[in-house]
Amino acid sequence: MLSVVIATDESERALVPTLAALVAGAAAGAVREVIIADAGSHDQTAAVADVAGCEMMVSPGPLGDRLRRAAQAARAPWLMFLRPGVVPDAGWVDEVMRFVAQTGAAAPAAVFRPAQAGTGSVLAETLGLLKLALGGRARPDQGLIIAKQTYQALGGHRADVAEPEADLLRRIGRRRIVLLRTGAVALALA
């Protein structure tokens, strides 16, 4: 059902918890493949991807180029883009599969609810959700779930912009992005 795309660049430590969070999706049959779009890392990113059974695509090109190529190679009808270190909460599989089933191929996109690792602050999380509801934009560290057909119709990620992930979210449009109840934490791993 889903092809997960993760762009990496010296991301060995951050990749491990993200891949661990995807195990539930693979076990449920929701994750068909995980594609690592690597910039040519010299750390153990390739070894981590290999142990996890990911497909590795190495290209020293711009981030937008790497993401677009990985999306083109994806075999599933739905794409889920995650950054290394982004960990969806337990229960993400059921909610994402419900979103996919209810919306169909011409669906809007979805992002995970933002969460902050280790803050323990309900106020900070509430303020973040309020900001998003009142006109704030989705951020790349919230992940992105989008039909491959919709992604292609939008032209995918652009290589000629400074922030291709944020650019794609802007082009999708705030009104066409569903905010899932399931959160995702962006871990700060060096």
Identify the structural domains of the chain with CATH numbers, from first to last: 2-186 (3.90.550.10)
pLDDT of residue 103: 80
Q: Are 160 and 69 in contact (CB under 8 A)?
A: no
pLDDT of residue 31: 97
What pLDDT digit, counting tens, does each position of 72-116 carry? 999 999 999 999 999 999 999 999 999 999 886 556 899 999 875
Residue numbers of the chain with a pLDDT score lower than 70: 104-107, 116-136, 190
pLDDT of residue 100: 93
pLDDT of residue 75: 98
Q: In what order do the strands lie in the sheet with 55-58?
A: 55-58, 31-38, 2-8, 78-82, 144-147, 109-115, 177-186, 86-88
Task: Tell me the whole-structure pTM to 2 decimals.
Answer: 0.90
